Structure 1
Amino acid sequence: MSAKAPSLPLRLPSSTVLIWLLALCASALPWLDKLPVDALLAAIWAPNTDDFSQVLVHYSWAPRLAMALLIGSGLGLAGAVLQQILRNPLASPTTLGVESGAQLAIAIATVYLPGLMALSPDLTAVTGGILGTGLVIALTWRLGFSPVTVILAGMVVSFFLGAINAAFMLFHGEYLGNLFIWGAGSLVQNDWNQFQTLWPRVVVLAIALVLLMRPLQLLQLGADSAKALGARVTALRLLAMLLVILLTASVVSRVGVVAFVGLAAPALARLLGARTLAQHLLWSTLLGAGLLLLADALAQWATAWADGNLVPTGTATALIGGPILLLALRGMKNDRHMPGQASEPASFTPERKPLALPLIALLAILALVVVLAIAWSPTLSGWQWTAVSNWDQAWDWRGPRLLAALVAGVVLAIAGTLIQRLTGNVMASPEVLGISGGAALAMVVLSLIGLNPGRAGQLLAGSLGGAAVLTLLFALSRRHRFSGHQLLLGGVAVYVFMDAGIRMVLSGGGTEANKLLTWLSGSTWLVTETEALALALVAAALVAITALVSRVLTILPLGEPTALSLGLRVPLARAGVLLIAALLTAAATIIIGPLSFVGLMAPHLARLLGQQTVARQMLLAAIIGAALLTLADYLSRVVMYPNQLPAGILTAIVGGTYFLWGLSRHDRR
């Protein structure tokens, strides 16, 4: 008997129809007060130019509706294809660097090559998107595209490119004001020109993707089985991925960052029962169109409620898609590898070495950096040494930020060690837990409701936001017994969701956007002495608690059966380690901002220096973290004097480069 194809659950088409009806009604409802239904429909094709409402319908509402349907369907299809070729249910242009690459390319071209932007903004965005995702794929190609590795690489590439983009915005904000709006995603249209330019590209690329459906089906059997059946797996993946990148970059070059629908639509299709590849592609396409139209309608309603202040479509898209993503995450049964992949990633254990020599050397380096930061700085009359007798005066200006950077480096390094030990992934870092996104979103809410509680209120709000994210992570991971990789994927999902609110405030520009951008960039110059001392006290308490979990971290990597046989309550132990790591991350993030790769680099460098036991690795990582962030703060103060470069941007650029180098070597170890 031939195998019977899975039946289509009724909830899939019925939910799709319901989303479309809600979206169309929500989009059209504001116009029904001005025009009857027949006049509204007639205005789409042939407006009465004497009726201003019909002119607005024809040149504003109708092309906007058409763009939402066109772009949503294209991104839904692209997301479904990308998940198929990577065999990763959380893969999408949002998490693989397309948008960040396109945004950085546009920023660079706007500042340095304005002629190129005038010639073809699409070419600029497409090139940046290809380079961004190409970097992710090149780094993870030999690792078999394991879900966690691809997602981590994509997020770190996005962080890395985003840090460079943030630097451009800080120093060239007068030229890049519109890029804030573009980064948040807006479907506002003034005529049909953009739609007429875009639809042939989307249709051609979509047809090309559909034609790849039959060979793509072979990938469901795994790479080895597909090769045995004659499929050229590498060439097929490259071709499909190139088409997806071209489609996504073409879209975002026109309307900005709305590609979150490329993650939400396939996830929703799968949740509603799409089983075969054909079902997944078809219903992801239809759901993508409906979701983006619904998000755009909600954005228009929110703009009207906000007295005309623009609420970008990309924000509404993420606010709708975020819960869908979290539901999809809860439904994942295999939290680390997809079928056909190796059960464990490539491992690398450097040779063990004595602790004394690297410890003394690193302490000497840290002491040297501290002395330089206090005593040797540029002035208007050149570089000058500060006499020891005047160090108390120098401390008033340089001490608080120096202390904050040093302590933040320690706590982030220890948090990174805990997370890498907990997940068994040396490429994991505190940034992907989503704690910083929660803290940032809380500050965004203060801005949106018009409150200005001062620095103390902002810190309190950031603490509550980080606590809310931690609670959500616990809820998501409890079902999977606080599995390490489920925590990482949950953190990524939360971060992408939180990013929507941040982009909304940045799109509004003005003072609040500049303040938020400064904090997001990892600025230490805002830190007061009271805040620095408070961070030091909190850090001391948390580090003392951390010392008590070294035995737990030694046992957990042995596997759950072994840990249980040794009397360890595994879920409770994982939850405790997560809580400590999250508190450490939140303490540093709230004070200096989220952009820092110290939590990634320091534990890794400690391992490379031969420290394999938990206690030794944490000790050496803490000193490395302190030295790295202190040096970054010092350089950020002096390299562009009298201007200052945020320390977070500097560490993100250096740390991102280090991560990319480390991941590129991971398969060779």
Structure 2
Amino acid sequence: MYSDTATLPAQRPVLPARLPVAAALLWLTALLASALPWLQQLDPMALLSAFWTFNPDTYASVLAHFSWAPRVAMAVLVGSALGLAGSVTQQILGNPLASPTTLGVAAGSQFGVTVASLFFPGLLAFSPDLPAIAGGLLAIAMVIALTWRLGFSPVTVILAGLVITFFLGATNMAFLLLKGEWLGNLFIWGAGSLVQNNWQPFADLWPRVVILVALMLLLMRPLQLLQLGETSASSLGAKVAWVRALALFLVVLLTATVVSRVGVIAFVGLAAPVLARLLGARTLGGRILWSTLLGGGLLLLADTLAHWASTWGDGSLIPTGTTTALIGGPIILLALQGFRNTHHMPGQTSSPAGFLPKRRPILLVSAVLTGLLLITVVVSMGWSPGLDGWRWTGLSQWHEAWIWRGPRMLAAVLAGIALGLAGTLIQRMTGNPMGSPEMLGISGGAALVMVVIVLSGLEAGRMGQLVAATAGAAGALGLLILLARRHRFAGNQLLLGGLALYVFMDAGLRLVMASGGTEASKLLNWMYGSTWLVSEGEAISLLVFILMISGALASVVRPLTILPLGEQSASSLGLPVARVRLLLLLLAALLTAAATVVIGPLSFVGLIAPHLARVLGQQTVGRQLIAAALVGGVLLGVADYLSRIIVYPNQLPAGLLAALVGGIYFLWGLSRHGRA
């Protein structure tokens, strides 16, 4: 990690003029934008006095005092707290992309509040902070446990935090789908809202924030020693492990306290420290100071934009978390331009792999997987619960059961096949075994287009959705590869760029979810892979489409075998590398889009299926493609069946169930690599 080789400067760095100028401009813009609508009703002094008093005879003054002023104060307080938390987190881990959001703390806090809302409502009445803190501690403990043995490798920490965010988010959505009547208000809270009706929330929050900030500042000197590296800091008497643990505990307390009050305000804790560093803050004290100031200004500006968007729109609330998430993507991409990481990716070691599965005949493996797939189909069609309990549907009645069970089962299997093929293409093309449609943002690009279609109210139809999702998937991966060209398509930058694209998808999703209504419910079900609305015609069309695409894969076996040799070697063997990468990109995007339209963007099947194909002894490209396709079909076929029966008479989306299992598999894979 970069802090291991950093040295303290011989003299105090000169503060660049652009840093205070940029901070002043940010604050001036945010304050003017926030005050502008009110200046038409109140003079500047009356508006300023709204922070401590009001004129009971003037409605605008009353409204400003109880609505605008506490909202501004809350935005500044929360933004400053998250900026400080992000700066301290980056110092602890020596990771310029670490933040409470990317480490899963915010998602963990939301998970804690969701669980408490369902099972321990009295605990929320006693203190909303406790379940949020417990969830945040759970998330950070999982990240630490997974990455401790790897020395907090920057990319590995971000990957672990991202997957934990996916996993806990999927669990939250499962609760939301099953208990939506009790958790409906969590839509807006989860998206992050700073709307205020009085000063009480601010009065409750600011003493807690001030105490936690003061405790963090007491750790300033030990945190400065971490810049010397772990060995040097220990030789000077610093208890590095204790300092890190205590500082991380305070970060979790501060983040969870904020999240419990205003919801998930995404990426301010990342954006503020990165901006401070890019603008020239070099010392720890400087980074903490300017991150705090920039965090307050950024969140005030984002909240003002959210308020303006709500006013200009149809009156529906635009959550502040949406506008702050839109800041996060560009910030990550800016940080990537200068990011260097000497650590290997999980699964990419400089030495030969310690585990090489025994090769097995592809005919035997294919026969076993095909048998499992047939068993899945038979059980799914025949053995199901009904009004009179569990019963077996005879073969003679399958034509009747097909209407209800067949299309969704066929669509799920086909989506699994498509994702298995797409995941293999991506992992082979990037040379990164942790690559998948989800982690590289391809699914996110397809999903973002679907969100836009829903927001615009267009009736695109299934074919129109497929075309639009394909364009979104291809555009996402194309943008990602374009951004990663300067790093020669290194897996690290591809994965982190995928995180940036996920941020935009998440922002759009939160926007629709906060709006509520039938469109939000439809999109929520689709995002997590609801198959129960798939018609027979759509399933057959998907079958024809995937058969056509699969036929084209025979032409890419040789290029995929040659590409891992390196660009120069591949070119010397007569391979047009640029055109081949473009072809692979389009094929992966088409397969991902086809699956995303049916199963949603987050299932992890594209990650798991190629891995299991290798575990089954299929190392060559062609054999891995065949095995991964069959594994993907079995996985999503089983997921669809279980999602239909596991909470009967309710149903879970098949993609959600697959995402839960896939997240566990991914976390297990990271921990296994750490032990190796």
TM-score bin (small chain): over 0.9
Q: Give yes or no for the alignment of 1:139 onto 2:146.
A: yes
**Alpha-carbon deviation of 1:368?**
0.8
Alignment-mate amino acid for residue 334 of structure 1:
R
> Does residue 351 of structure 1 match 2:324?
no
What are the superposed Cα offsets for residues 260-299 of structure 1, whole Å, 9 maximum, x if unpaired? 1111112222222333333322221111111000011111
Per-residue deviation, 1:611: 2.8
Shift of 1:32: 0.8
Contact 2:605 2:658 in 1 (8 A): yes
Question: Cα RMSD (Å) of the superposition?
Answer: 2.6
Aligned-residue sequence identity (percent) comes to 63
Aligned: 1:522 with 2:529: yes
* CA 227–427 in structure 1, closer or farther in 2 if over 3 Å, else same: farther
Q: In 2, are the aligned partners of 1:407 and 1:539 still within 8 Å (CA)?
A: yes
What letter is aligned with 1:232? Answer: K
How has the CA–CA distance of structure 1 residues 312 and 422 changed in structure 2, closer, same or farther, with 3 Å as cutoff?
same
CA offsets per residue over residues 498-540 of structure 1, 9 Å max, x none?
Answer: 2112101101111011001110111111222232233223323
Q: Is the 8 A contact 1:336 1:485 kept in 2?
A: no
State the shift of 1:357 in Å.
Answer: 4.1
Looking at structure 2, the residues matched to 220 and 418 of structure 1 have their Cα atoms a distance apart, in angstroms, of 41
Report deviation, 1:557: 4.2
Residues in 2 aligned to 1:268 and 1:396: alpha-carbon distance in whole angstroms: 56
Is 1:403 aligned with 2:410?
yes
Residues 296/420 of structure 1: CA separation in 2 closer, same or farther (3 Å cut): same
Question: Which residue of 2 is the match for residue 261 of structure 1?
Answer: 268
**Structure 2 match to 1:655:** 662
Q: 1:216 aligns to what?
A: 223
Q: Secondary structure at the match of 1:189?
A: coil
- Residues 276-334 of structure 1: per-residue CA shift (max 9 Å, x gap): 333322221111111000011111111111243211111111223332332222x1342
Counterpart among 282, 287, 291 of residue 280 in structure 1: 287
1:34 to 30, 41, 50: 41
Q: Could you say what secondary structure the match of 2:391 adopts?
A: strand
Return the TM-score normalized by structure 2: 0.92
1:337 paired residue number? 343
Give the equivalent residue in structure 1 for 2:200: 193
| SS of equivalent residue, structure 1 residue 162 | helix
Match of 1:323 among 330, 333, 339: 330
In structure 2, the partner of 1:67 is 74
Query: Given the superposition, is the C-alpha separation of residues 212 and 343 from structure 1 closer, same or farther in structure 2, using an over 3 Å criterion?
Result: farther
Task: Kindly state the Cα deviation for residue 255 of structure 1 after the two structures are TM-superposed.
Answer: 0.4
Q: Distance in 1 between matches of 2:499 and 2:44?
A: 44
- 1:424-479 CA-partner distances (Å, limit 9, x unpaired): 44343321222222233223323333444455544444334333323322332233
Alpha-carbon contact 1:184-1:314 (below 8 Å) kept:
yes
Shift in Å, 1:29: 0.9
CA-CA distance at 1:566 after TM superposition: 5.4
Matched ranges for 1:96-111 at <5 A: 96-111=103-118
1:584 equivalent to 2:591? Answer yes
Partner secondary structure for residue 384 of structure 1: strand
Q: Which residue of 2 aligns with 1:17?
A: 24
- AA in 2 matched with 1:406: V
Please state if 1:466 is matched with 2:441.
Answer: no
Match of 1:3 in 2: 10
State the shift of 1:344 in Å.
4.9
Q: Which amino acid aligns with 1:104?
A: F
Determine if contact 1:527/1:592 at 8 Å carries over to the other structure.
Answer: no
C-alpha displacement at 1:623, in angstroms?
A: 1.3
CA offsets per residue over residues 342-366 of structure 1, 9 Å max, x none? 9859954323232354433222211
Contact 1:143 1:345 in 2 (8 A): no
Show the counterpart of 2:399: 392
What residue in structure 2 maps to residue 639 of structure 1? 646
Helix, strand or coil for the counterpart of 2:343?
A: coil
SS at match of 2:356: coil
CA contact (8 A) 1:522 1:649 kept: yes
CA contact (8 A) 2:531 2:640 kept: yes
Q: 2:389 & 2:660 partners in 1: Cα distance?
A: 27
**Paired residues for 1:83-94 under 5 Å:** 83-94=90-101
Cα displacement (A) at 1:399: 2.2
Amino acid at match of 2:398: W
**8 A Cα contact 1:482 1:575, kept in partner:** no
1:533 matched residue in structure 2: 540
Residues 51 and 2 from structure 1, CA distance in 2 versus in 1: closer, same or farther, beyond 3 angstroms? closer
- The residue identity in structure 2 corresponding to 1:375 is G
CA distance in 1, matches of 2:460, 2:567: 47
Q: Secondary structure at the match of 1:174?
A: helix
SS at match of 1:431: coil
Match of 1:609 among 609, 616, 631: 616
**Alpha carbons of 1:281 and 1:349: their partners in 2 closer, same or farther (altered >3 Å)?**
same
Rounded to whole Å, the distance in 1 between the matches of 2:90 and 2:215 is 17
- Structure 1 counterpart of 2:501: 494
Tell me which moved more, 593-602 or 204-213.
204-213
Residues 135-144 or 513-522, more deviating: 135-144
Count of residues paired in the alignment: 666
Q: Distance in 2 between matches of 1:32 and 1:598?
A: 54
Give 1:157's match in structure 2, choosing from 160, 164, 173: 164
Structure 2: any 5+ residue segments left out of the alignment? 1-7
Could you tell which deviates more after superposition, 618-627 or 539-548? 539-548
Paired position in structure 1 for 2:5? none
**Contact kept in structure 1, 2:484 and 2:490, CA below 8 Å:** yes
Choose which of 125, 130, 152 in structure 2 pairs with 1:123.
130
Counterpart contact for 1:596–1:649, Cα < 8 Å: yes
Q: Which runs of 5+ in 1 are unaligned?
A: none
Change (3 A) 1:90 1:542: farther
CA contact (8 A) 1:75 1:259 kept: no
Relative to 1, partners in 2 of residues 1:12 and 1:49: Cα closer, same or farther, differing over 3 Å? same
1:297 maps to 2:297: no
Equivalent residue runs for 1:370-389 within 5 Å:
370-389=377-396
Give how far 1:578 is off. 4.1
Please report how far the alpha carbon of residue 597 of structure 1 lies from its aligned counterpart in structure 2 after TM superposition: 1.9
How big is each residue's C-alpha offset from its partner over 1:33-81, in whole Å with a ceiling of 9 and x where there is no partner? 1111111122221222232222222221111111111111111111122
Q: How does 1:165-180 map to 2 (within 5 A)?
A: 165-180=172-187
User: Is the counterpart of residue 478 in structure 1 residue 490 in structure 2?
Assistant: no
1:595 and 2:597 correspond = no
Cα distance in 2 for partners of 1:304, 1:345 equals 58
Tell me which amino acid in the other structure corresponds to 1:254: R
Query: Which residue, 491, 504, 511 being the options, matches 1:504?
Result: 511
